[in-house]
Amino acid sequence: MNLVIIGPPGSGKGTQAERIAEHYQLKHFSTGDTFRAAMASNSELGNQLKIIIDKGGLVPDELVNEVIKDAIEKYEGEGLLFDGYPRTQAQAAFLQSILTVDGVISVSVSDEEVVKRISSRYFCPQCSKAYNTVTLPPKQAGKCDVDGARLQQRGDDKPEAVQQRLVEYHAKTEPIIRFYEKAGVKIHSISGEQPIDDVFEDIKQALG
Ligand code: AMP
């Protein structure tokens, strides 16, 4: 089974993806996490990505598709859960050309709620685990539950970047739901404006 999870920034798709992957024994592949790891390494590519990502823009399709091709080769034979990919119609068409997508989970959250949530969002720079000081706080304030590293706020969680990410989401990512509908792929529409456990229950019920 190969699944795609789509949602605006701050919809909790990363958190849900971790749970789905564990429950359904899928490999969780997040393009955002992959790019953040590249940025943390301070490589030339990472520095180029940072310029785009911190402004709230999208990484060029060819580069993203290259990363995806490598991941698909690496995890050949295993079910995959794509988190944050595809984000454009060109990416969706590329994925369709190399793999069968069995379902799309679309998590919806209003723009207002996105802005509210992102201002309380933190992550661990070492293991990428995501936290929210309101809905998913760490056991010890400011420290990762897994490795104790000091939590950080993402560069792209600044208000101007968030506005740009919402613009990109509505203009380029939302329309791919229609692309999948046309391709006959099942869309599971889930409200992301409920407690994390309830969102996950709805996803499990939808996937069966
Ligand atoms: P995410 O963690 O999924 O919100 O991704 C963080 C940032 O990485 C996004 O705001 C984009 O700048 C970039 N990014 C992640 N996935 C993609 C993708 N599929 N296409 C283009 N840019 C991406």
How far, in Å, from the CA of 8 to the mean position of ligand 1? 11
Give me the residue spans of the domains in the chain: 2-207
13 is catalytic: yes
| SS3 assignment for 126-153 | CCCCEEECCCECCCCCCECCCCCCECEC
**Superfamily of domain 2-207, CATH level 4:** P-loop containing nucleotide triphosphate hydrolases (3.40.50.300)
Active-site option among 36, 50, 87, 117: 87
Which helix H or strand E contains 28, and what residues bound it?
Answer: strand 27-30
For ligand 1, pick from 66, 95, 156 the residue to mutate: most ligand atoms within 8 Å of CB.
156
Confidence of residue 76 (pLDDT cuts 50, 70, 90): confident
165 is catalytic: yes
Q: Which of 59, 42, 52 is nearest to 155 (CA)?
A: 52
Work out which ligand 1 atom sits closest to the CA atom of 85. 19
Write the pLDDT tens digit of every residue in 149-161. 999 988 899 889 9
pTM for the model? 0.89
19 is catalytic: no
- 6 DSSP β-pair partners: 106
Q: Which of 2, 21, 5 is nearest to 13 (CA)?
A: 5
Distance CA(203)–CA(188), nearest Å, equals 8
Q: How far apart are the first and last CA of the chain?
A: 12
Write the pLDDT tens digit of every residue in 121-140. 899 989 989 898 888 899 99
